């Protein structure tokens, strides 16, 4: 094998995994990151995320033991307005994204340093530079609108309110559904910090909606902390051209490749596995594209199910709530578990997530 010099743009989770794997194969690897340090975007991080994941299978696939950074969720609640339905927590994890030693980013960065990957921080991919990038350059710029524009790629926009800070609990998450948003509000506790996000795709979230969410939090969960900030960002769209690994000779890596669960928006598992796939693409673009398609082959069907079936139901949380009251918590839970089981066969990352087809 001829060793190459590979440049990776973005020192987030997928870029670091790609860089590590390439270095292990003997390539010279330089990671360029626009922030002053690793730890992802300073707009959102520090943050804590919740994700379904098969930690062991994913660690084996990417060649890095990520288990120290993923913490099993002990309990997770789904709320339809104020109505609680406890969800099965098995297979759900919280993970910290930041530059603190307890984060996933710190674990991956250390692995890269040990392997000999080189880094340039405060080094952003620019439009001028784009035309001259050698084929096989890896783009791992995450959910960043400027990067999508730069690469002339389709994307949608999400809007929302976020709050974060110190917390005295761990291993707990909730998901909150209400008509004032198209997606959900969620909180994630991990490593003594919390991250709370209330968000919609393609629709601004007004202050009244935030006040409803805050009312729910303090009334039902007894939580009233947090300075709220209004944020927005990019989200990949599913269309014939996306998800996609290769674009004009460049290798798309992580969420910018479109590898984000099209139902719930879980991006962690897709970012992890496509870091490895992007590294494979440097030597074997054809084989890596097939592997990428294996992971994303059901995205289109799931995306359309969400658009055409779920969004109609989702707009009537009052009816879902009434149905759940009639069924009672146990039968509602059984219905949800069956939905997840079916979803497993039809969506997301094969073998790596409870909402996937293994
Ligand atoms: C607010 C928020 C909450 C989320 N919550 C969850 C959740 O609970 N569960 C879940 O599964 N997923 C969640 N996701 C999705 C998940 O975080 C992403 O899919 C995942 O982080 C993407 O990983 P990545 O490696 O593609 O990019 P990232 O880890 O975001 O890394 C991208 C890196 O590229 C850098 N960069 C950007 N532009 C440039 C440039 N032009 N030049 C150089 N560097 C650049 C950035 O600074 C960053 O360090 C959330 C996303 C957001 C934004």
Residue ranges per structural domain of the chain: 5-315+329-346
Where does the pLDDT of residue 303 fall: very low under 50, low under 70, confident under 90, or very high at 90 and above? confident
Rg, the chain, Cα only: 20
Tens of pLDDT, residues 118-131: 999 999 999 999 98
Please tell me if the CB atom of residue 147 comes closer than 6 angstroms to any atom of ligand 1: yes
Expressed in angstroms and rounded, the spacing between residue 255 Cα and the centre of ligand 1 is 7
DSSP state of 156: E
Please tell me if the CB atom of residue 125 comes closer than 6 angstroms to any atom of ligand 1: yes
Expressed in angstroms and rounded, the spacing between residue 40 Cα and the centre of ligand 1 is 6
Please tell me if the CB atom of residue 347 comes closer than 6 angstroms to any atom of ligand 1: no
Percent of the chain with pLDDT over 70: 94
**CA separation for the pair 253, 279 (Å, rounded):** 9
Is 60:307 a contact under the CB 8 Å cutoff? no
Tens of pLDDT, residues 77-101: 999 999 999 988 888 999 999 999 9
> Which DSSP helix (H) or strand (E) runs through 15?
helix 13-24
The protein residue whose alpha carbon is closest to atom 1 in ligand 1 is: 44
Tens of pLDDT, residues 125-167: 999 999 899 999 999 999 999 999 999 998 999 999 999 999 9
30/349: higher pLDDT: 30
The best mutation among 42, 64, 129, 141 to test binding of ligand 1, ranked by most ligand atoms within 8 Å of the C-beta, falls on 141
Is 16:109 a contact under the CB 8 Å cutoff? yes
Confidence (pLDDT) at 340: 73
**CA separation for the pair 251, 289 (Å, rounded):** 10
Query: CATH classification of 5-315+329-346 is 2.60.40.3470, yes or no?
Result: no
**CA separation for the pair 140, 311 (Å, rounded):** 30
Please tell me if the CB atom of residue 261 comes closer than 6 angstroms to any atom of ligand 1: no
Tens of pLDDT, residues 231-275: 999 999 888 888 999 999 999 999 999 999 888 899 999 999 999
Confidence (pLDDT) at 1: 64
In the predicted structure, residue 194 carries a pLDDT above the cut 70? yes
The protein residue whose alpha carbon is closest to atom 19 in ligand 1 is: 267
- Provide the token pair at 208: 């009244």
Which pairs count as long-range contacts for 287-291, CB under 8 Å and 24+ apart, including other chains? Answer: 288/245, 288/251, 289/245, 289/246
| Helices 268-283 and 55-62, axial angle in degrees (round to 10) | 20
The protein residue whose alpha carbon is closest to atom 3 in ligand 1 is: 49
Tens of pLDDT, residues 332-348: 888 887 777 766 655 44
Closest to 280 measured CA to CA, from 62, 11, 56: 62
**CA separation for the pair 139, 345 (Å, rounded):** 30
What are the CA-CA distances from residue 195 to residues 163, 254, 258 (Å)? 6, 22, 24
> pTM of the entire structure?
0.95
The protein residue whose alpha carbon is closest to atom 15 in ligand 1 is: 267
């Amino acid at each position: 094998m001829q060793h190459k010099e590979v440049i990776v743009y973005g020192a987030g989770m997928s870029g670091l995994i790609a860089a590590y794997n390439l270095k292990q194969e003997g390539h010279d690897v330089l990671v360029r990151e626009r922030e002053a340090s690793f730890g992802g975007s300073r707009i959102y991080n520090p943050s804590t995320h919740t994700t379904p994941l098969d930690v062991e299978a994913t660690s084996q696939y990417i060649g890095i033991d990520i288990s120290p950074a993923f913490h099993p969720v002990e309990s997770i609640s789904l709320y339809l307005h104020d109505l609680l339905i406890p969800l099965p927590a098995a297979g759900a994890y919280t993970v910290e994204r930041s530059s603190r030693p307890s984060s996933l980013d710190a674990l991956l960065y250390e692995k890269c340093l040990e392997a000999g990957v080189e880094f340039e921080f405060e080094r952003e991919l620019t439009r001028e530079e784009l035309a001259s990038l050698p084929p096989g350059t890896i783009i791992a710029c995450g959910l960043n609108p400027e990067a999508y524009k730069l690469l002339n790629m389709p994307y949608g926009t999400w809007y929302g309110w976020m709050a974060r800070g110190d917390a005295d609990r761990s291993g707990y998450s909730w998901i909150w559904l209400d008509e004032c948003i198209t997606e959900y509000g969620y909180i994630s506790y991990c490593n003594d910090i919390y991250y709370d996000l209330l968000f919609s795709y393609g629709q601004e979230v007004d202050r009244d909606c935030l006040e409803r969410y805050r009312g729910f939090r303090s009334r039902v969960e007894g939580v009233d902390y947090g300075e709220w900030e209004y944020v927005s960002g990019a989200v990949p769209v599913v269309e014939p051209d996306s998800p996609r690994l290769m674009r004009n000779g460049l290798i798309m890596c992580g969420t910018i490749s479109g590898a984000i669960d099209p139902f719930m928006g879980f991006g962690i598992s897709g970012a992890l596995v496509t870091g490895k796939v992007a590294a494979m693409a440097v030597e074997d673009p054809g084989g890596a594209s097939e592997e990428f398609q294996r992971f994303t082959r059901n995205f289109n069907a799931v995306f359309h199910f969400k658009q055409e079936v779920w969004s109609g139901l989702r707009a009537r949380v009052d009816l879902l709530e009434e149905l759940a009251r009639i069924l009672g918590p146990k039968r509602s839970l059984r219905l949800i578990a069956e939905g997840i089981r079916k979803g497993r066969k039809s969506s997301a990352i094969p073998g790596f997530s409870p909402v996937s087809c293994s």
